Structure 1
Amino acid sequence: MSVRVSSMSVLPPVRKDRIVARLPQCFRKEAAFHTKEDFNNKVRTACQEQRTGTVGFKISKVIVVGDVAVGKTCLINRFCKDAFDKNYKATIGVDFEMERFEVLGVPFSLQLWDTAGQERFKCIASTYYRGAQVVIIAFDVNDVASLGHVRTWLEDALKENDPTAVQLFLVGTKKDLSSPAQYSQIEQDALKLAQEITAEYWAVSSLTGENVKEFFFRVASLAFETNVLAELEKSGSRQIGGVVTLQTTCMLLQRRSSQTAASKMAADVSSQRYGLRMRGKSCGGISVVEAGRWSLTSVFPGREITFPCGMWILVVLLTLTCSYRATQQLHTKLLFCNCRDAKE
């Protein structure tokens, strides 16, 4: 009796509070990737038919960058550990957390990289930017200067990644410390900047947890949707390519069959110069060369040495090279003897 084991069962189970059944909505429609209320129809259909390929085993890399003390670590800790540490501790280099989701019944993982904002650690942190699928740029809604440095952080992140393959989020932190009037003013500037750099804007509070879970669920869902669409595109191209290859192969077989119908004979091609012999036979109009191997017979009389077909080119080249070098050496010796005789 055969037992079918699901490919996803080898992975650890997903927490119940990490299950996504519908696409989380954006924070502001003015600055969002799209304002659709649900996942792409192709993505939902692929998940229902279990045609997501290797998406369930993939890990989407997310990097969080921004000025020092804007709350990058607190943002990640609030979501991953549901904790908030009031004591400030600067991140040295980088740190990361792993979070697993279940999106439309398919497991999906996010690798959240917390990078240092201090200038002295910038060269270290930038080495970990490579391979990111999502870039989160955090700024303090109470600090206008941190918003002004967003473009610099964006340039550093895109140096190591393909700008067309990265999803960008602009996140304002410490919303609980801002008054409504102050926040309204900086939000307008942030929305304008987000539109200019093609980023989705969010405002959160790590202290109260406001919008933190919704934000990361949105990040995971959009990253998942992008991966599934890419997987469907690859599988579609493979299927199309397979049909073209099959048709081309059939045409070649028919052509070879018609060419060999007039002369059916065992292929016995020999070269007296290099002592190489290819022995083959005809099978259904297709030349079969004895499992693709050549034989050396005249080089070693009484013995037969076989080697792969591709090796015969190397043998010929080596033979020619050795002959050329021997000729050059002989020519040099003759010149030397002639010069010596001339001097004498």
Structure 2
Amino acid sequence: MVSSYSITSPYSKIQDFNSKTKVVCENTDLSMFFDQCKVIFIGDEKCGKTSLVNRFTLSSFEQEYKPTLDINYNLKYFDVLNTEYNVGFWDMPGQESLKLITRSHFKNANVIVVVFDLTRPQTLMNAIKWMEEALAENDKSNPLRFIVGNKSDLLSKKAFEGLEAHARIIAQDLDAEYISVSSKEGTEVNNLFRRFTSLAFDKSVQKLIMPSDYNKVKNNISNMPKS
């Protein structure tokens, strides 16, 4: 039932890594040049943001709902193209009353993941506002954007296909990639995390080797052997 990213994604042409990224990583250890990648998970309450992160980081799912009243932070180390890449997951509360407190933590995001509940269409419409608010806090950094429909296991095939089609249009309007998942069953969860981690890593490498940035560090990285 759940499909991966489509041709409507703004990142559809990036299915693996840029060829230059592969070449650089084959010959140089770039780990020390990367800041930690910041991924924020935002969206209405009860959409399963915490469940989504826990499914990936802990391979677990809690049946009982527990509201997120503070920012949950998880750090995970990835091995991408034989390069250590650190990714921090910031799981934000969805309550409107807490938004003034948490909104400042939207800043400096490399990836914005807006989660909505596929069984509650209104949360998809609210996803537009969440994305716009997060982008307003990151107006100069151009973070990667994802719209994620959670709880795909609770819909019939017909209902799922109809809502997913609508979600893809909204994602396209927001220049975001769309994917449907099930935190409960784990469907597409690993693919989602691999996808935005790969894209963020590729973007980090490309930024590093762009002429304006590369001139600052070329003497260091050109003489550094692969560990």
TM exceeds 0.5?
yes
In structure 2, C-alpha distance between the alignment counterparts of 1:225 and 1:153, rounded to whole Å: 25
1:169 and 2:151 matched: no
Instruction: Give the aligned partner of residue 64 of structure 2.
Output: 87
In structure 2, C-alpha distance between the alignment counterparts of 1:90 and 1:28, rounded to whole Å: 32
1:105 maps to which of 64, 78, 82: 82
Matched-pair contact (CA < 8 Å) for 1:95–1:113 = yes
The 5-angstrom pairing of residues 153-302 of structure 1 reads: 153-162=130-139, 165-233=142-210, 237-238=214-215
Instruction: Give the aligned partner of residue 29 of structure 1.
Output: 7
Off by >6 Å, runs of 4+ in structure 1 = 239-242
Instruction: Give the aligned partner of residue 49 of structure 2.
Output: 72
Instruction: Give the aligned partner of residue 91 of structure 2.
Output: 114
Residue 156 of structure 1 and its aligned partner are, at CA, apart by: 1.5
Q: TM-score, normalised by structure 2?
A: 0.89
Matched-pair contact (CA < 8 Å) for 2:5–2:12 = no
Residue 151 of structure 1 and its aligned partner are, at CA, apart by: 1.5
Matched-pair contact (CA < 8 Å) for 1:101–1:107 = yes
Structure 1 unaligned blocks of 5 or more:
1-24, 243-344
**Cα distance per residue 1:75-120 (max 9 Å; x no partner):** 0000000000011111012111111100000010110000000111
SS at match of 2:79: strand
How many residues align structurally?
217
Instruction: Give the aligned partner of residue 225 of structure 2.
Output: none
In structure 1, C-alpha distance between the alignment counterparts of 2:138 and 2:14, rounded to whole Å: 27
Residue 217 of structure 1 and its aligned partner are, at CA, apart by: 0.6
Structure 2 unaligned blocks of 5 or more:
220-227
In structure 2, C-alpha distance between the alignment counterparts of 1:145 and 1:240, rounded to whole Å: 48
The one-letter code matched in structure 1 to 2:52 is L
Residues 32, 175 of structure 1: alpha-carbon distance in 2 compared, 3 angstrom cutoff: farther
**Cα distance per residue 1:305-326 (max 9 Å; x no partner):** xxxxxxxxxxxxxxxxxxxxxx
CA RMSD in angstroms comes to 2.2
In structure 1, C-alpha distance between the alignment counterparts of 2:113 and 2:140, rounded to whole Å: 13
Q: Which has the larger radius of gyration?
A: 1
Residue 53 of structure 1 and its aligned partner are, at CA, apart by: 6.4
SS at match of 2:178: strand
Residue 238 of structure 1 and its aligned partner are, at CA, apart by: 1.5
Identity of aligned residues (%): 33
In structure 2, C-alpha distance between the alignment counterparts of 1:72 and 1:102, rounded to whole Å: 24
Matched-pair contact (CA < 8 Å) for 2:111–2:145 = yes
Instruction: Give the aligned partner of residue 49 of structure 1.
Output: 27
The one-letter code matched in structure 2 to 1:81 is L
SS at match of 1:158: helix
The structure showing larger relative contact order (alpha-carbon pairs under 8 Å, at least 6 residues apart) is 2
Residues 70, 236 of structure 1: alpha-carbon distance in 2 compared, 3 angstrom cutoff: closer
Matched-pair contact (CA < 8 Å) for 1:26–1:35 = no
In structure 2, C-alpha distance between the alignment counterparts of 1:214 and 1:164, rounded to whole Å: 24
Residue 52 of structure 1 and its aligned partner are, at CA, apart by: 3.0
Residues 172, 228 of structure 1: alpha-carbon distance in 2 compared, 3 angstrom cutoff: same
